[in-house]
Structure 1
């Protein structure tokens, strides 16, 4: 036989040879598939095993189940995020606390609306004066109810005490909780390649171990940790300013993850998950990769502009300006809307969100103001804050 050019054509391989080739090809493909499946299973098991399950807090909360608030209607969820100052592990002791001590400087109540309608992250100031209920200490002793600053709850009775304090303060049931330590935060920022921020002025804070120039720049994990923890060297040195920076940075982090397609790219998502799970302690409802994936999917479905950050309406405590107290009735309005899974409108200070009636007065509370307004009953109240879309550098 010849080909179209007249040259002798290569003879077809014998049928037996073709069968052998097909068998080897099938065997090779099977090996590749099995290897990929095995690798995927190993990675899954590794991430799953990174997570620490907090059964102690769950058992303690069961003792008070009758006193706890009802769940959010229609499928909304509330997750309490606690930034732990345990300083346990390498590198954490440098931040100024004895090894093994326990404190929480950052607490955020994350409300995820039903059907992906929106996400509202509410920061609770560490210096807010609240009623801390009776709690069990790590040594098994019971403390008496007391009026104290909010972050004492974590120091006294850990996660369970903090959750009960939040529920008594807000009337909102905490469905799940996550405790993230310093190293997890730093590693997550590094895993996404750093986060871009815009600084109006340079920062030089020895206590927070951070020195940054003014202007737009991308922070690595170590710089980011110092940036969100810096306090005395910036502005008026208040915890409110620090919480504002934390909210803006978290918004920028959310935006970075979504804009870079991290949540949709396994190669990019794995380092983030590895960093997060290694430093994550959760209740049994979120202690598996499957549970966290479900949470990630819920968050991914929410448009960036509907991921909002704000601080509970607060003002200087009347008996001590170095402490905070709630601004009423604004705080009650906010808590009521979150309990009902109702929309919460958040806008930067001095700006009215689009769609809000011009005649509707804002229920916005700024630091030091009374926050007392007479809202339009037909309009949702507006609170000062920011959102992930507005946290991006120009």
Structure 2
């Protein structure tokens, strides 16, 4: 799906692919939060409390215990003065939760439960000067491991089930355990954003400008756009991120292409918006970021999020790669895919 959407800066001008300003979602969030605290002056205590209280968290480490891949030994040299940041793997999920009226309206109904609509493994290299973002198609058939349940007990292991069923069955804990089982890569952190949070973030930034190279008409995502350049508000951007039937071959693989390009366009918008000179908008962005997040307990405070964002200051645009886990159509179901081996295994090995 590469080439179906073009990024623009805040003024609507096309940004050259492979160059120009670009930053990562985690970097942008961390630096925005740090700036909010710096600008808040006498109200810093209240601002910190308000934003910190926004964040929901799940204790994934306690839930999974030792039944998971080992943490790798850092491979970079250390010094007492400036110890380098270790490599990190972060599972980032976009949830299609219908919890609350706002999510129900954006999701197009009052369905209960939630699934992982978008799944990305973000690998930050040692020293934080390079990164790889790997998208996992939600329609991938996997073996879902037995997972601890919030209600007590454990779910049964299940073979040939869709990847996004892990979140439906056991929430963030089961999503992390399933990814670790698939990849044998330890997930150091977990970050989740829901429908409403993503839309609020786009609106807080004043929308995002994209160019589509073909008409989009998708009843499921409620998005209709003629080919051309459009400035999208939050609800429309969410519709673009959810579009699959209205473009290309209608598969989840096409949607992943749109999602990866939309993330880049959103990050360009953040880079082009003068947040530091507009404290009100800066706070709105930070409030949208924290208000939409569920994280593991290792990232559930402003101090931890800001620290992560600041550690990414040396990450350049050219050092970030977006890829999709290699997949092939399942032999027994043309509407589903399975990991394409040995290529998929080689990708995960490269992250380890």
> TM-score, with normalisation over the residues of structure 1?
0.72
SS at match of 2:70: coil
C-alpha distance after superposition, 1:199-257 (max 9, x if no partner): 01222222212122211222111000001101112111000000110001111112222
Aligned with residue 290 of structure 2, among 277, 282, 286? 277
2-side partners of 1:322 and 1:303: how far apart? 37
Match of 1:39 among 38, 43, 47: 43
Paired residue for 1:58, among 51, 58, 61?
Answer: 61
Flag structure 2 segments of 5+ consecutive residues without an equivalent.
1-38, 76-85
Contact kept in structure 1, 2:40 and 2:47, CA below 8 Å? no
Match of 1:70 in 2: 71
Q: Structure 2 matches for 1:170-209, cutoff 5 A?
A: 170-209=183-222
Residue matched to 2:324: 311
Judge conservation of contact 1:69–1:167 (CA < 8 Å) in 2. Answer: no
- 1:282, CA displacement in angstroms? 0.9
Cα gap change, 1:115 to 1:268, in 2 (>3 Å): farther
Cα shift at 1:81: 0.8
Greater CA drift, 298-307 or 104-113: 298-307
The SS at the match of 2:214 is coil
Counterparts of 2:276 and 2:133 in 1: how far apart (Å)?
20
Aligned length: 302
Alpha-carbon deviation of 1:258? 2.3
Q: Is the 8 A contact 2:63 2:173 kept in 1?
A: yes
1:190–1:221 Cα contact (<8 Å) kept: yes
- TM-score, normalised on structure 2? 0.80
**Residue 312 of structure 2 aligns to a residue in which SS?**
helix
Q: Is the 8 A contact 1:255 1:304 kept in 2?
A: no
Contact 1:134 1:145 (C-alpha < 8 Å) held by counterparts: yes
CA apart distance, 1:183: 0.9
Aligned to 1:322: 335
Greater Cα shift, 110-119 or 293-302: 293-302
Counterpart residue number, 1:156: 169
| CA–CA separation in structure 2 for the residues paired with 1:269 and 1:284 | 25
> Retained in 2: the 8 A contact 1:123–1:243?
yes
**C-alpha distance in 2, partners of 1:188/1:179?**
14
Contact 1:263/1:300 (CA < 8 Å) preserved in 2?
no
* Gap change, CA 1:72 and 1:112, over 3 Å in 2: farther
Greater relative CO (CA pairs within 8 A, separation 6+): 2
1:90 and 2:90 matched: no
Unaligned runs of at least 5 residues, structure 1: 1-34, 340-394
Q: Which has the larger radius of gyration?
A: 1
Confirm or deny: 8 A CA contact 2:197 2:289 kept in the other structure. Answer: yes
